[in-house]
Amino acid sequence: MAAATDEQLIAELGLRRERPWSLYDHPNLIRAASVLVFLAAWEIYGRRTDPILLTYPTAVARAAVELVRSGELFRQLLVSLAALAAGFGASLALGVGLGLLMGRSRVAEAVLDPHINALYATPQVALTPLLMMWFGLGFSVKLVMIFLFAFFPILINTAGGVKNVSASMVEVGRAYLASDRQILFKVLFPAALPFIAAGVRIAVGRAVVGMIVAELFTAITGLGAMLTLYGNLFETAKMFVVIVVLGLLGLGLIRGVQVLERLLGRWKETERAAR
Amino acid sequence: MQTSVDEARILAELDLSRDRPFRLADHLGMVRAGSVLLFVIVWEIFGRHVNPLFLSYPTAIGRAFVQLVLSGELLRQASGSLAVYVVGLLASLAVGIPLGLLMGRYRLAEYLLDTFVYFLDATPRVALIPIILLWLGLGAPAKFAIVFLSGVFPVLMNTFSGVRAVSGGLVDIGRAYGAGEGKIFSKIMLPAAFPFVMAGVRLAVGRALIGIITAEMFTAVTGMGALLIRYSSAFATDKLFVPIILLAVLGVVLTDGVSRLQQRLAPWKETERAL
């Protein structure tokens, strides 16, 4: 009955278990209030402004309902997501594969890295006109743009991660007669996984940027095309719907990758804790 | 001198050879140079056979470069872009760092602002370009706004997490020695968070470059981005490559410059953080 004596002591000394109410213990209250004030101010100010220039939250909500009802939002979102998944998948496969090669072989690294560094340093948007000339305005140009935006962070992080694997781990593998393949898949790849995950996190954000840039300029399908279309029609409320969707998409993807990163890097944490 | 002769004699007697067999891995510089040279030569040969509307070749690009420099076109457009870029980036530092410090130090500021900051940070800034152009027109103010928005969030987020990473012990010691809030900011918070801030600046430099190019491509009036659009519309592919290469060089110079600056200004801590 230790708890009872605790309570007795507390009562005797006139102490209180509860902390006095503090605003700081309720951060979500402050957050909600802040967002509400912002939305209210926007609503009031927005209604007085020319609707071509600035819209207001309820108009954005109405536009959102309209776009969802007509199915347009989902159709375009699906198109965008398909391109994103295909382009990102390609950059993941190639980036990790080539990264393993570059991290393992110094000759391969020397052959490839001048080109890769040059391409990585180039702001990839600058390549848009060239790519549009080569690949047209359809799905393929989006795919290539997303690939180019996402590929380099994955490649560079994978190569860096593989180079970072301590030589003694590989030596132990060799001492136990592991084949090259086993060393690659059982030693190097798992050891490099946290680095790869970090590269993927950067790449996801960039892939979304690549998708939007491609769609803004080709302006035929996808969320970016909706932005251009409604911008030209001066339908500001609908533009905001698209911007909010893109924001949520970005937020969701980044959170998703963070979770993945924690899952993949879990052994790394346990390794550190065991020491 | 004597020993080396002896050594050579002994080596000769024992029929040992000093030279290692030739291996590519010993001549990585050569491999690199060879790789680049081969690429340029193949491009030159291949490019001359392809329709010049779609692909140019290195010597044609070199000629176009000289032509654009001599006519002053390149310098005029580049300096216009750079001026806006520098001012926008400085503004994003001037806002991002203090706001990050504030949010990291005061929980009230954090709770009030973090919803907006996270959401805006996750929204790809390129998605905001159409609406910014609607609000601010096609001139310098719109470009400034886009550079600012591209740069401010990486700086803000990194400063914020840098300040939060400052150990409470440092602040307690400061307090124990009677440091006021101002002193704690300037002598403890800022130096401790500085490596994070610089990592944010490095991210901002690249993102702002992407921002300004995209904006200029979209408006197609002035600047390097406008050159890209103009030459691609005219199918002047050789000229199109000139701003692309120039932007690549600019990208390398800027990121490299910031890394150097980071090492010089914050040599006490190497923190790599990409949000």
Report the distance separating Cα B85 and Cα B150, nearest Å: 11
pLDDT, position B18: 64
Q: Which residues of B touch A124 (CB under 8 A)?
A: 210
ipTM: 0.78
To test the contact with chain A by mutation, choose from B31, B157, B158, B237 the residue with the greatest count of A C-beta atoms within 10 A, namely B31
Question: Confidence class of residue B198 from pLDDT cuts 50, 70 and 90?
Answer: confident
Residues of B in contact with A112 (CB under 8 A): 35
Contact B124 A209 (CB under 8 A): yes
Residue A148 has a pLDDT of: 93
Min Cα distance B186 → chain A (Å) is 25
Interface size, chain A vs chain B, as Cβ–Cβ contacts under 8 Å: 163
**Interchain pair A228, B130: CB under 8 A:** yes
Contacts of B168 (CB under 8 A, 6+ apart): none
Are B122 and A251 in contact (CB < 8 Å)? Answer: yes
Phi and psi of A190, rounded to 5°?
-65, -35
Yes or no, beta carbons of A251 and B31 under 8 Å apart: no
Give the tens place of pLDDT for each residue, A127-148. Answer: 888 888 888 888 889 999 999 9
Task: Assess A239–B contact: CB distance below 8 Å, yes or no.
Answer: yes
Contact in structure between A109 and A159 (CB atoms under 8 Å): yes
A130–chain B Cβ distance below 8 A for any pair? yes
- Res. A274: pLDDT tops 50: no
CB contact under 8 A, A231 and B133: yes
Across the range A181-188, mean pLDDT stands at 87
Residues of A in contact with B228 (CB under 8 A): 126, 128-129
Q: Which two tokens stand for residue A189?
A: 């790849």
Give the model confidence (pLDDT) of A36-59 as tens digits.
Answer: 999 999 888 888 888 777 888 888
Across the range B33-62, mean pLDDT stands at: 87
Q: What average pLDDT score do residues A101-110 get?
A: 87
CB contact under 8 A, A129 and B228: yes
Listed by number, the residues of chain A in 58-87 with a beta carbon closer than 8 Å to a beta carbon of chain B are none
Asked if B162 and B194 count as a contact pair (C-beta separation under 8 A), the reply is yes
Cα angle value A57/A59/A63 (rounded, 5°): 115
CB contacts of A36 in chain B (<8 Å) are: none
CB contact under 8 A, A234 and B251: no
Question: What is the mean predicted confidence (pLDDT) over B219-242?
Answer: 86
Q: Return the half-sphere exposure (C-beta side, CA atoms, 13 A cut-off) of residue B241.
A: 20
DSSP state of A122: S
Q: What is the mean pLDDT of chain A?
A: 85
Least confident range from A161-165, A270-274, B23-27, B82-86: namely: A270-274
- Residue A4 and residue A6: Cα distance in Å, rounded? 5
CA distance B236 to B64: 10
For residue A69, is pLDDT > 80? yes
Nearest to A246 among B39, B127, B225 (CB): B127
Chain B: residue whose CA lies nearest to A219: B218
A30 and B108 within 8 Å at the Cβ level: the answer is yes
Non-local CB neighbours of B126 within 8 Å, separated by 6+ positions? A125, A209, A212, A213, A216, B210, B211, B214
Task: Name the region of B137 (left: φ>0; alpha: ψ -120 to 50; beta: rest).
Answer: left
Is A167 in the B-facing interface, judged by CB distances under 8 Å?
A: no
What DSSP state is assigned to residue A70? T
Cβ distance B213 to A126 less than 8 Å, yes or no, reads yes
For A85-98, write each residue's pLDDT tens digit: 999 999 999 999 99
Mean pLDDT for the stretch of residues B250-265: 84
Using one digit for the tens of pLDDT, what is the confidence trace for A222-235? 888 888 888 888 88
Q: What is the pLDDT of residue A26?
A: 80
> With DSSP H G I counted as helix, E B as strand and the rest as coil, what are the percentages for chain A, rounded to 5?
85, 0, 15
Distance CA B234, CA B3 (A): 71
A12 confidence band (pLDDT: 50, 70, 90):
confident
Question: In this complex, is the C-beta atom of A205 within 8 Å of any C-beta atom belonging to chain B?
Answer: yes
Q: Provide the 10 A C-beta neighbour count for residue B268.
A: 9
Please tell me the distance from the alpha carbon of residue A43 to that of residue A9, in angstroms, as a whole number: 55
Which of B112, B210, B237 minimises the CB distance to A123?
Answer: B210
Please report the pLDDT score of residue A275 as a whole number. Answer: 33
In the chain, the amino acid numbered B25 is: A
